[in-house]
Structure 1
Amino acid sequence: MSLYRKTAVITGASGGIGLAIAKRFAREGANIILAGRNEEKLERARLQVQEVKPERPEWESEEKPTHSMISAFNVSDVASWKRLLDQPAQLKQIDILVNCAGTTQRSLLLGTKPDEIDELLNVNLRGAILGCKLVGKRMAETSSRLRAGSDRNNKSGTPASTKCIINVSSLLAHRAMLGTSVYTATKAGLLGLTTSLSQEFARFGIRVNAIVPGYIDTDMTRDMANKPSLLERIPLGRFGTPDEVADAAAFLAKNEYANNCIINLDGGLSAVI
């Protein structure tokens, strides 16, 4: 299946994994809406996405440029999501939502301030729940399954095209470490959200999946990447790259039978801890 001319909303898209996914989808020919809190960073990211040359499918007779736009907003705010969805025509139909916005924690719970707890819950979990609810409603309204009937009634043998939501969780959802209690709770919550909505949204032709990255080489983990003791624990002996996570996101977005598909991407670390 192709992402050509589909529209993807990606939160946390100003850098790291979110930006890598945006570039990967743009290479597949998708139109990209980059969402995040910092407008200046988003604009820099948008320029990088615009430089990506899309790969035209064989069946498309004419190469068309992809479009990208930015939306600076707070993922935990309902009004911000509604303003995003009120944008021009390219957002009338959304095919893919990637919930990648996140913030981290490096403090024991007893030393974590209540406003820091609120920030973790709001950005990492509430924002994804609101995205699934509000973007999911838009997806359901424009789902091809609603127009064509369920796959069971499809006589052509070709499944109706589906929409896709991808939640970016973390290995810490399964394997916690000191100083990450609230972060771990939010990332575990994303997996629960994924499993529940994969059942609830399927009737609307919306698939819901998750990626569970281990240590990925981003600004968030840069001070940890050269610790020999940590690298020795990872069977592959290195951190992953944002592009490798983006490859997994592309698979989930394109595979029409991937629903409640939860991909561990941790270099084998989950096998040994």
Structure 2
Amino acid sequence: MIDQTPNLVRPAPSEEHVHHPVTVVTGGSRGIGAAIATRLAEGGHHVALGYRSDSDAAEKVAAEVRAAGAACVTVRMDTADEADVDRLFETAAAELGPVTGLVNNAGIGAPVGPLAEADAAAMRRALDVNVLGYLLCARRAVRDMTRTGTGGGIVNISSAAATLGAPGEYVHYAAAKGAVDTMTIGLSKEVAAHGIRVNAVAPGVIWTEFHADPERPAKLAAGIPMGRAGRPGEIAAAVAWLLSDEASYTTGTIMRVAGGR
């Protein structure tokens, strides 16, 4: 468990906060997570931003969220740690109001390379974050949304790798994202009666710091039907729609945003 006092936004909860969606975004300090946080803020969501280590980056994203007119709290945490997950959600509820949304985004791609050369400890850590972390966060979100009776939405960030397999790069990561897809479908059926919708967005190759080789998106562009890698904002737009009232009849869906790949 990471021991750090959350960076809170004052004032304390108000009636105004209660009338806004309150969404938890994990892995929100950079890349796709950062784009999601700011896009949701532009749509009126207050944001609880979970991050692993880079407090400066997290606070920069929080400043962008606040500049968009939303409230924000940042919490340093590890999604694979049950106590940290509980602390993230408890902070969100205490400072912003009842949680109505979750974006499961925190993920690890390493180790990179053929499976035969992969380190077992590194794979175990990746699976803890990419699968167990999603399950722990979703479990807490469902508990909170059910208890408060607010209903809400969960969006899991999957990957096109779940069906492409990522041979030679990270088969273990692709397998984890396959698990995320299965979780999305199963949980959507389990909680639909509680007014909770569960969907996933499966990005293709996106320009972020996720890649061990910074030029990987450019190198893979020729194999993408649209001829380019995607942008974080394009993933954020899909997430924002799935959490909006316009997607009120959408659950159990895995939305592929991968340029045709």
Regarding TM over 0.5, the answer is: yes
Q: Distance in 2 between matches of 1:267 and 1:258?
A: 22
Establish whether residue 40 from structure 1 lines up as the match of residue 29 from structure 2. no
Counterpart residue number, 2:36: 21
Establish whether residue 108 from structure 1 lines up as the match of residue 97 from structure 2. no
Q: Please list every run of at least 4 consecutive aligned residues from structure 1 whose deviation after the TM superposition is greater than 4 angstroms.
A: none
Establish whether residue 140 from structure 1 lines up as the match of residue 146 from structure 2. yes
Aligned-residue CA RMSD (Å): 1.4
Does the 8 A contact of 1:85 with 1:91 survive in 2? Answer: no
Which residues in structure 2 correspond to 1:129-168 (within 5 Å)?
A: 129-144=135-150, 162-168=151-157
CA deviation after TM superposition for structure 1 residue 92, in Å? 4.5
Question: For 1:139, what is the secondary structure of its paired residue?
Answer: helix
Q: Distance in 1 between matches of 2:94 and 2:86?
A: 14
| Counterpart among 152, 160, 165 of residue 171 in structure 1 | 160
Q: Which amino acid aligns with 1:209?
A: N
Q: Distance in 2 between matches of 1:252 and 1:86?
A: 24
Q: Distance in 2 between matches of 1:143 and 1:256?
A: 16
Count of residue pairs brought into register by the alignment? 235
Deviations 1:38-70 (A, max 9, x none): 233211221122222xxxxxxxxxxxx420010
Q: Which amino acid aligns with 2:187?
A: L
Deviations 1:62-94 (A, max 9, x none): xxx420010110000011112223325345511
CA deviation after TM superposition for structure 1 residue 96, in Å? 0.7
Q: Distance in 2 between matches of 1:248 and 1:90?
A: 27
Q: Distance in 1 between matches of 2:203 and 2:217?
A: 15
Q: Which amino acid aligns with 1:142?
A: T
Deviations 1:206-264 (A, max 9, x none): 1000001100111123321222xx22211111011100001100110011111011111
Cα 1:122–1:171 change in 2 (3 A) is same
Long gaps (5+) in structure 2 = 1-18
- Structure 1 window deviating more from structure 2 (34-43 vs 12-21): it is 34-43
Q: Distance in 2 between matches of 1:232 and 1:265?
A: 17
| Counterpart among 224, 241, 246 of residue 251 in structure 1 | 241
Long gaps (5+) in structure 1 = 53-64, 145-161
CA deviation after TM superposition for structure 1 residue 194, in Å? 0.1
Does the 8 A contact of 2:46 with 2:96 survive in 1? Answer: no
CA deviation after TM superposition for structure 1 residue 108, in Å? 1.7
Q: Distance in 2 between matches of 1:94 and 1:35?
A: 14
| Counterpart among 100, 123, 135 of residue 117 in structure 1 | 123
Question: For 1:201, what is the secondary structure of its paired residue?
Answer: helix
| Counterpart among 116, 126, 134 of residue 128 in structure 1 | 134
| Counterpart among 199, 216, 233 of residue 209 in structure 1 | 199
Q: Distance in 2 between matches of 1:29 and 1:20?
A: 15
TM-score w.r.t. the length of structure 2 is 0.86
Greater Cα radius of gyration, structure 1 or 2: 1
Q: Which amino acid aligns with 2:188?
A: S
Does the 8 A contact of 1:7 with 1:90 survive in 2? Answer: no
Deviations 1:169-209 (A, max 9, x none): 00010011223111111110000000000000111111000
Does the 8 A contact of 1:8 with 1:96 survive in 2? Answer: yes
Q: Distance in 2 between matches of 1:10 and 1:85?
A: 10
Establish whether residue 97 from structure 1 lines up as the match of residue 102 from structure 2. yes
**Once the two structures are aligned, what percentage of the paired residues are identical?**
32
Does the 8 A contact of 2:71 with 2:96 survive in 1? Answer: no
Counterpart residue number, 1:76: 80
Counterpart residue number, 2:10: none
